[in-house]
Amino acid sequence: MVTTFNGTYRTARAPPPLVPLPFALDARTHSARVHVVTERASMPECAAKCRARGVSYTFCVQTKKLATVPHTSARRRRRRHRRRARAPTMGGTKNKSDAANADAASGDAGAGANSAKKQKVAIPSGPIAQTPCARRAEAAMGAKTFKAIAWNIAGMRSFAEKHMEKLAGMIASEDPDCVCLEEHKLQASHVDAMTETLRKTFPQYKTVHFAVSTVKKGYSGVMVMCKASMVGKKGVQTSLDAMFGAKPKTEPTETKTYDGPKLLAISEGLDGGYVDEGRVLTLEYESFYVVMAYVPNSGQDLKRLDYRIDEWERDMRAHLAHLESKGKPVLYIGDLNVAHLDADIWNVGAPHIKKSAGTTPRERETFGVMLEKNAFVDAFRNFHADATGWFSFWSQRAGNRPVNKGLRLDYTLASKSLFGESGLRVVDAFILDKVMGSDHAPVGMTLALPN
C-alpha cells in the first residue's frame, strides 16, 4: 500500500503492477522513514515513474536526490521516535520511568532529583475540588466578639451601581464590626458623595474613612466602615465637609448602641510614609490594632517586583513590629497579592507560575519570612491546615470562577499571641467564596473578647 498524491494527500491504494521503479521500495518507506533515491537513475525518470506508481515524492535541491514521502501520521511517529531516541537514559534504562526506578534502587538521590525535574507536572483540567471547611464556633455562649472583613471590590463606583446589594447581603449575614473595601479607585473629589451613600445604606457604621491614591487617577485606594465611633484625635478626616465642621447632609437612622471595642484612631500609610497610593489603613482599638492593606502588585513583566520586595515588604514588616512593640497584638488583613503555599495555587505546576505576579518564588519566600520574623499566623491555615480548593481570586477573563481555578491572594493574619486558649484570641477565619460581585472573595476573622 502506498499513498497517492495529486496536490493533496489522499487515501492509500494498491500500486499498479506496471512501471517498475528504479529503486527499492520497502515496507517501511511509507510508515517510519523516508527512502532516499540513489543515483541509479536520472531524476526526471524517477519522478515520472513515481507519479505513474502513485508514490508521493519530494526533491532535494542541495543533495540532488529524490525521496519518497511517508504519510503525515507516519512523519509524526518518526519524529516521536527520534525524540525518544534523543531522551537521556541512565544506567542503560530505556525510558524515564525506568531511569527513576534505577535511581531509587541504587539510592542515587542526585540523579533521581535531576530525572524528576524533567518530568512534566500534570495540570488539573476539570473543576478544582474543595475540601469541606466548616465555620468554627465563634466563642462561648454570651461572650463578646469582634469580626473584621476585607474585600477587594475592583472599583467602588461600578460596584455601587451593580453590586451594592451583594455587600448589603454579606453585612446582613455576617454582621461584621469592621468592613474594609480595597481597590476602590476613587479620587478625593468622589469621597464626600460616596461617604453619604454608605452612611445612608449602612447606618450602623458610624465611622467611614477613605484613603485615596494621589499619584494616579482611578487607582488603588482602601476604605473602612466601623461600627465604633472614633474617639481618638489622630487620623485624617473622612471628608472635606467634616474637615470644615459641616454636618452630614443626611442624618443616619438611629441604631442600637454599639458596645464593642472602642476605636481610638485611624491612620494612613506606614508610619507616615506610603500615603500617595492609599494602600494602608491602621485602626487602633483599645486592646489591639487592625492593619488593612492592599499590597502592590508586582505588575506586568514583574516591573514592580524589586520595589515590592526591597521596599514595601521591608517597611511593612517594620510597621507591624512597631505596632506590636506598643504592647498590643495586631490583625493584618486584606489583599496581600501573594499565593504563599502550593495549595493556594490551582495550577502550581504550570511553567508560567514562577514568572507571574503574586506567585514568584521571591514573593512567596518573603511572605514566609514576614510570618516568621514578625511572629504572625495565617489564621485560615491555622484552623484549616490541609484545606484544598480554597481560593479568594479567580480570573474573570479566563472564566475560572465556575470551575474554581483560582489563587488565594487575600489573607487574615494575626499575632501569634492571639491563638491562646482564653482571653483575647482568634476563634475563626474564613473565606466567603460564595459571595459574588468581584473577582475576589471577602475574607475575615473573628476575635473572642475577654469578659
Is 332 labeled as catalytic in the residue annotation?
Answer: no
Q: Dump strand ranges (E) for 131-248.
A: 145-152, 178-182, 207-211, 222-226
Q: What's the Cα-to-Cα distance from 443 to each of 126, 289, 376, rounded to whole Å?
A: 25, 17, 17
Measure the CA–CA gap between 358 and 355, rounded to whole angstroms.
9
Q: What's the Cα-to-Cα distance from 47 to each of 32, 40, 224, 426, rounded to whole Å?
A: 21, 13, 81, 83
Report how far apart the first and last C-alpha atoms of the chain are (Å, whole number): 90
Of 184, 319, 340, 440, which one is the catalytic site residue?
Answer: 440
User: Is residue 81 helix, strand or coil?
Assistant: helix
Q: Quick one: which H or E segment has residue 393? A: strand 393-394
Measure the CA–CA gap between 140 and 203, rounded to whole angstroms.
28
Cell numbers linked to 187: 479620587
Cell numbers linked to 128: 478544582
Cell 451601581 belongs to: 161
Is 322 labeled as catalytic in the residue annotation?
Answer: no
Of 57, 289, 294, 411, which one is the catalytic site residue?
Answer: 294
Helix ranges restricted to H, 334-397: 361-373, 379-383
Q: What's the Cα-to-Cα distance from 372 to each of 116, 377, 410, rounded to whole Å?
A: 30, 9, 18
Q: Which residues neighbour 313 within 8 Å (Cβ) at sequence distance 6 or greater?
A: 366, 370
Measure the CA–CA gap between 174 and 165, rounded to whole angstroms.
14
Catalytic residues: 294, 440
